[in-house]
Amino acid sequence: MPAAAGSADPDPLITGVQDWQRYLGDGVDKRPYGLPSKFEKHIVRRDVGWLTASAESSVNFTPLHELDGIITPSGLCFERHHSGVAEIDPGSHRLMINGLVDRPLVFTMDDIKRMPRVNKLYFLECAANSGMEWRGAQLNGCQFTHGMIHNVMYTGVSLKVLLDEAGLRPNAKWLMLEGADAAGMNRSLPLEKALNDVLIAFAMNGEALRPEQGYPLRAVIPGWEGNLWVKWLRRIEAGDQPWQTREETSKYTDLLADGRSRKHTFIMDAKSVVTNPSPQAPLKYKGRNVLSGLAWSGRGSIKRVDVSLDGGRNWQTARIDGPVLDKSLARFYVDFDWSGQEMMVQSRAMDSTGYVQPSKDELRKVRGVNSIYHNNGIQTWLVRSGGETENVEIG
């Protein structure tokens, strides 16, 4: 409980008149587009300068430890670019469908917005999320170890609707998605997935896509690695085999211990992380506390999250609160009392297919340590007696 509870001395912050009660605030004309309070200005995306050669091909990270619930605010969604942010006039943007189709087509943004719409809440995770941790604990903060993820409501059109307009030929088995950025980002997509649940989105969280999230049009590939979610989408070509692009051969492939690479590792497996306490959110008070975290799976929905406070020797089932949706983040909590003892905090997710998140040792026995992609091993935070928390590894 608060230190002042039950105190005989009055608290002037509750009994006195504060400065902000003495004068009028800004009127509505000063707030044409809402912004967070100035007291929340520290809650921002952050980058790690040495990760890439330049900012145009870099990444910044969602501040997971500062958020709650399951919706990521649009202004805090992590960024990953290959040639910087493309600034595109939607009136001049076009989407072409060509290749193995009966009717090659070009759509304007107005064409797309006149088609039947869908709204879906999905997570987007970069395949390299947690990638620096394959050889051991390195980055001290869940913003940096797990922050290449966000979860938003997308509005758009089912890709199947567009493909039906063009008329796929019987020998079409794959699609190639291409972006309008300077890198011409492109990836191969199996037709089976495209016809299942892929969206072509023009809005997120109720408003137009942000420029850094692909404005005015992007692909949404639920449950699959973020590199496939081509931003600034300009072309979809139908073919009979994958294109073997740069981003699916020399990059975004998982190198095994024996030098071979795993092929087409599209799905993001079940994963979780405790966001509070964590290195950027240490424990401040003894007594009542709330442990909080996120869990997700590209194969379905989250069914259970277990939490350990002693490095995996004992586990308890966390309370999941809020919507639990297919291929979306789930929020979990454990209410606990802390007396100042050291803790080894872990979380372990199970999804609707029965898949259980592995330990890092279990993952490395199969995968080795040569990859930087698809690391979904259990994260460990060491909470010290003073509340300070750090990234450690115990398997």
Report the pLDDT value the prediction gives residue 3, as an integer from 0 to 100. Answer: 47
Which letter, b or e, does each residue of 41-69 get, where b requires 16 or more Cβ atoms within 10 Å of its Cβ? eeeebeeeeebeeeeeebbbbbbbbbbee
The model's pLDDT over 64-107, given as tens digits with 9 standing for 90+, comes to 999 999 999 999 999 999 999 999 999 999 999 999 999 999 99
Report the pLDDT value the prediction gives residue 354, as an integer from 0 to 100. Answer: 98
* Stated pTM of the model: 0.94
pLDDT surpasses 60 at 1: no
Which residue is it, tokens 């495209």?
194
* Domains of the chain: residue spans and CATH: 79-260 (3.90.420.10), 271-392 (2.60.40.650)
| Mean local confidence (pLDDT), 251-259 | 91
pLDDT band at 364 (very low <50, low <70, confident <90, very high): very high
Type and span of the H or E element at 304: strand 302-308
The model's pLDDT over 115-124, given as tens digits with 9 standing for 90+, comes to 999 999 999 9
The model's pLDDT over 153-198, given as tens digits with 9 standing for 90+, comes to 999 999 999 999 999 999 999 999 999 999 999 999 999 999 999 9
Within 55-185, strands assigned E span: 59-61, 79-80, 94-99, 105-108, 118-125, 149-158, 174-179
The model's pLDDT over 146-163, given as tens digits with 9 standing for 90+, comes to 999 999 999 999 999 999
pLDDT band at 395 (very low <50, low <70, confident <90, very high): low
